[in-house]
Structure 1
């Protein structure tokens, strides 16, 4: 049985992961970390430094500014960490890279296995279509999501650029723009409203034809499932930085 600490356990995704882990014979949630207090069925602390329970892995669904301190404490305790928190800036990403020199760290801006299939499809489509088709990315999330555009939308754009000889520029929305669309750009557009879990669509618009590749998240459980899948993978790894692609290849 894998003993788990959940960072951000009182948040929406923390509660989802806790519920899924508690109902699985493969996991035991031994502690949680959150600045708020909630009835979780396990001890809740303010920081990883305060946790005394023995654990095998930390799953992080918190806020991006909390990640560096979590990783610092995880290194001192020699604990692998699944970083599922989105919206990390360059400095916070560097803290992930630095920690991975000492402990196994898994990071993905989207824990859905389906999104990673979408990335594979988009990559192949971009290789064939990028010269003659305009590329636009549309994402929609619930009205409580703070970062925009989503980390997944940026991941899709980055995935496309990695396979192109001539890198494209990212254009965020077109408000007040009066010039013609440049061929050397990827449009990225964000919508916020209601309780939408997550919608991502990649549009390849060519002459008289349009190709759309999309993914729709219908519940947060798909992200919880991916995080637990990553945790099970990570506990057997050596120090290093891992992602969904390495997990899928290993699986």
Structure 2
């Protein structure tokens, strides 16, 4: 049985992860971390990771970037792997993750959906060829309470496209005023409204034809299931940085 500490257990995703965990026979959430410790929970909840005295195998983080330094220290102290689902890290946060992966196993993905990561793998194979005759734009839509923009997933897709193209390209974050498009641009546009769970649309606009690759998350459960699968995957792994590509490579030949 894989024992999980869930950081951010009372957030929207934390609650969904708790519900989804009951569908897994070989893992369980043994403790939660959240600033709100007064809410009823099926497991003990602590105000911060340093207060947690429950034995566990993996930390699953669905919180905010500010929690990363204390989580990293805890992981190193206890030689514990971590699954990081939080996005919006600055350069300092990126460096912490990089250094942490040299000491313990770190699983990180901007989007825990298998579907969006399959699309990301497809983009690696087609973007260089399509760039020759197509303009590339990314549109992402999320609920009105999402903090970061553009989404971590949109940036993941954009960086995949950019790294697949030999020519120099730049990101264009929205447009206003005179905005004739330049060939080297990869457009990234963020929409916030209502309770949209998450939509990402990659558009290849050519002469006389348009190719669209779209992913729509109907429920947050898809991210919760993916995160729990990542906990299973990372358990017992050597130190290093892992992502959804590693899970997909084990199950799908693209």
TM-score by length of 1: 0.97
User: Does the residue aligned with 2:247 lie in a helix, a strand or coil?
Assistant: helix
Encode CA deviations 1:204-231: one digit per residue, 9 max, x unaligned: 0011111000100000011011101110
Matches within 5 A, 1:1-251: 1-37=1-37, 38-176=39-177, 178-251=178-251
Any conservation in 2 of the 1:142–1:193 contact (CA below 8 Å)? yes
Any conservation in 1 of the 2:50–2:70 contact (CA below 8 Å)? no
Encode CA deviations 1:124-150: one digit per residue, 9 max, x unaligned: 221221011100000000011010000
User: Does the residue aligned with 2:172 lie in a helix, a strand or coil?
Assistant: strand
Encode CA deviations 1:45-100: one digit per residue, 9 max, x unaligned: 11222111110101000011211221111111111100001111111011111111
Encode CA deviations 1:165-195: one digit per residue, 9 max, x unaligned: 113100000023x142100010100000111
Q: How far apart in 1 are the matches of 2:41 and 2:23?
A: 13
Q: How far apart in 1 are the matches of 2:208 and 2:23?
A: 51
User: Does the residue aligned with 1:122 lie in a helix, a strand or coil?
Assistant: helix
Runs of 4+, deviation exceeding 3 Å: none
* Structure 1 unaligned residues grouped into runs of 5+: none
Query: CA, structure 1 residues 179+19, in 2 after alignment: closer, same or farther (shift >3 Å)?
Result: closer
Query: CA, structure 1 residues 208+93, in 2 after alignment: closer, same or farther (shift >3 Å)?
Result: same
Shift of 1:247: 2.1
User: Does the residue aligned with 2:168 lie in a helix, a strand or coil?
Assistant: coil
Any conservation in 2 of the 1:47–1:70 contact (CA below 8 Å)? no
Q: How far apart in 1 are the matches of 2:24 and 2:155?
A: 33
C-alpha RMSD of the superposition = 1.1
Q: How far apart in 1 are the matches of 2:92 and 2:228?
A: 26
Which piece of structure 1 moves more, 131-140 or 32-41? 32-41
Q: How far apart in 1 are the matches of 2:80 and 2:122?
A: 34
Q: How far apart in 1 are the matches of 2:146 and 2:45?
A: 24
* Structure 2 unaligned residues grouped into runs of 5+: none
Any conservation in 2 of the 1:22–1:29 contact (CA below 8 Å)? no
Any conservation in 1 of the 2:88–2:152 contact (CA below 8 Å)? yes
